[in-house]
Chains A and B, each alone.
Chain A
């Protein structure tokens, strides 16, 4: 069975451009999370989907970030317009239905804004 997959693995864009990150969770996993690690800091929560609904988006840094999960399958995270401080590694994780189930992580997308 495929794990959590993220695309692209790396992205280098210029300040002001738009980037869209994609996450395909494990099939059947209702819970989907986005996390981010910026240079030298710990990984931080961005948001949580349960199926197609945003359960918690308290970690989204500002309105330049938009996450969607149409149909409750894959999710996208769009950054528009990108700023230098958005550089980091964006991780996606998914887990099966329920509150305390094990999370499986993707390989991450390394975003560099220049």
Chain B
């Protein structure tokens, strides 16, 4: 079992839908990252959080430290949101990654 589990692994949505991607982890962490990777592109950091909630545009990330769970929400999804979304936790001095969620938003 991976130390960082994401669900779902694949997600197809219609443009405009509200999307939630979940991440659970089993190790002690100092921070959690949500990352985005477009096809053929590099990895971009969306959020780094250690408690509560952060919002950036249509993206919202929450974390519950006690439950060891985080969610990434996308409101009013758009085809340009199609990408792989990766949850990674910082444990000691390195990141431990989930397998990623492949999101496809159809027009």
The reply to whether chain A is a binding partner of chain B is yes
- Which A residues lie at the B interface, using CB under 8 A? 31, 33, 35, 41-45, 48, 55-56, 59, 91, 93, 99-100, 102-108
Interface residue tally for chain B (C-beta within 8 Å): 25
Nearest A-chain residue to B91, judged by Cβ? A45
Q: Would you call A108 and B95 a contact (CB within 8 A)?
A: no
Say if the beta carbon of B86 comes within 8 Å of chain A.
yes
Say if the beta carbon of B78 comes within 8 Å of chain A.
no
Q: Would you call B98 and A105 a contact (CB within 8 A)?
A: no
User: Which 10 A-B residue pairings sit nearest by Cβ, starting from the closest?
Assistant: A107-B42, A105-B43, A43-B97, A42-B99, A45-B94, A42-B97, A102-B48, A100-B30, A100-B31, A48-B93
Q: Tell me the interface secondary structure of chain B in the complex.
A: strand
Q: Would you call B45 and A42 a contact (CB within 8 A)?
A: no
Tell whether A44 pairs with B97 under 8 Å between CB atoms, given A100-B30, A100-B31, A100-B90.
yes
Q: Would you call A106 and B42 a contact (CB within 8 A)?
A: yes
Chain A residues positioned under 8 Å from B2 (CB to CB): 42
- Which B residues lie at the A interface, using CB under 8 A? 2, 4, 30-31, 33, 35, 41-45, 48, 50, 86, 88, 90, 92-100
Q: Would you call B43 and A108 a contact (CB within 8 A)?
A: yes
Give CA–CA (A45, B94) in the complex, Å: 7
Minimum CB–CB distance for A28 against chain B, Å: 17
Chain B residues positioned under 8 Å from A44 (CB to CB): 97
Give CA–CA (A105, B33) in the complex, Å: 12
Q: Would you call B95 and A35 a contact (CB within 8 A)?
A: yes
Most A CB atoms within 10 A — which of B30, B50, B94?
B94
Q: Would you call B94 and A102 a contact (CB within 8 A)?
A: no
